[in-house]
Amino acid sequence: MRRVYLDHAATTPVDPEVADLMAQVLREVSGNPSSIYAEGRQARALVDRARDEVAQAIGADPAEIVFTSGGTEADNLALRGVLKAREGEADGIVTTAIEHHAILDTALDLEAHGQARVTVLPVDRDGRVSAQAVARSIDERTAIVSVMHGNNEVGTLQPVLEIGAICRERGVAFHSDAVQTVGALAIDVRTMPIDLLSVNAHKFYGPKGVGALFIRRGTRVSTVQTGGGQEKGRRTGTENVSGIVGLGAALRIAASRRAVESARQAELRDRLIREIRSRIPDATLTGHPTDRLPNSASFCFSGTQGEALVVSLDLEGFSVSSGSACTSGNTDPSHVLLALGLDRDLAQGSLRLTLGRDTTGADIDALLAALPPIVARLRAASGATVSA
């Protein structure tokens, strides 16, 4: 039985070209990029080339790219680094209720240790924060505003251009977790008023365990770990050369394919949303109906449990999720869905379907055939009644 993978928001398979390049580096490049002899210079050249590739993909200067171990570290460096750099001057963090835990937990940890004042803004039913609410929350001691570009669970895109313009006018650093959008949407930091931007390789067919943080020149960020001073002192530790090469190559490939591939996935996404709402009574679409990630469709089905949906579809050959993979072991409803104002019982029956390069129309047909009877069976088992 051919399995159908529909959980690309959690992770993507590594592109074969990327895997080949990484394997070549692991076999042939043994030097430490900080060493000045030939082997070190060879490794440094590869890191620099990857930095150029990442910078070119988002319109940055290579000197503005800092390599990290992934999106979580990039988010931590953005928040902790800005707060540390502004210590004694500003301690305010403004963020939203639907951010990834790498942002929310970091902000709350800083607050718990007396290092920050945190304002968590609500979102509307579609999962969008009001730019005006952000403006009202900024005061003279606000150090950073952090609003994700696209939500990893419900796919909603945030008004980052408007929010960034407000932050720039008020002299406040603006960070956006763009882990889900880099590689899928056009991003040009030359025209977007974003000071810090988080990137994660395994969301665009690169390896796990490597990411980057764009830090606009002039943005004050202190290192949050001590060591050898790599990455111009902004992120110390010996660089993961093969992973960084994979990150650069994956983003280069994603950028070259983005226009055609994202449009193709968006067509499949729209069909999936339309057909699920047509075939399954009381299917509740979550997230913004149109301003959402091109590959993301997310629903709640009353009278079901997300875990049961995932297991039932797994047995039928489909890999899906009921929310963020980072909290898959948590049986409580998603904090994102609760922030949208959904009833807790309804939020329990969540299903996230995220498409990728290998997703075909036949895959969508297969899912549409399998899902309705599964939902009907789970509802019958729970005794739930739904409107026709």
Catalytic residue annotation: 326
Structure tokens at 7: 């959980």
Burial 159-183 (b: 16+ CB within 10 A, else e): bbeebbbbbeeeebbbbbbbbbbbb
Residue 2: phi and psi, rounded to 5, are -75, 125
Cα–Cα distance, 282 to 300 (Å, whole number) = 9
CA 127 to chain centre: 15
Cα–Cα distance, 130 to 163 (Å, whole number) = 9
DSSP 8-state assignment for residue 304: -
Residue 23: phi and psi, rounded to 5, are -60, -40
Integer CA distances (angstroms), 178 to 183, 195, 299, in order: 9, 12, 22
Q: Is 366 exposed, middle or buried (0-12, 13-18, 19+ CB in 10 A)?
A: middle
Integer CA distances (angstroms), 305 to 72, 203, 301, 316, 331, in order: 28, 27, 8, 17, 10
Helices (H), ranges, the chain = 16-28, 38-58, 71-85, 101-112, 131-137, 160-170, 241-279, 306-315, 335-339, 344-348, 361-382
User: Considering just the CA atoms, what is the radius of gyration of the chain in Å?
Assistant: 21
Cα–Cα distance, 82 to 175 (Å, whole number) = 10
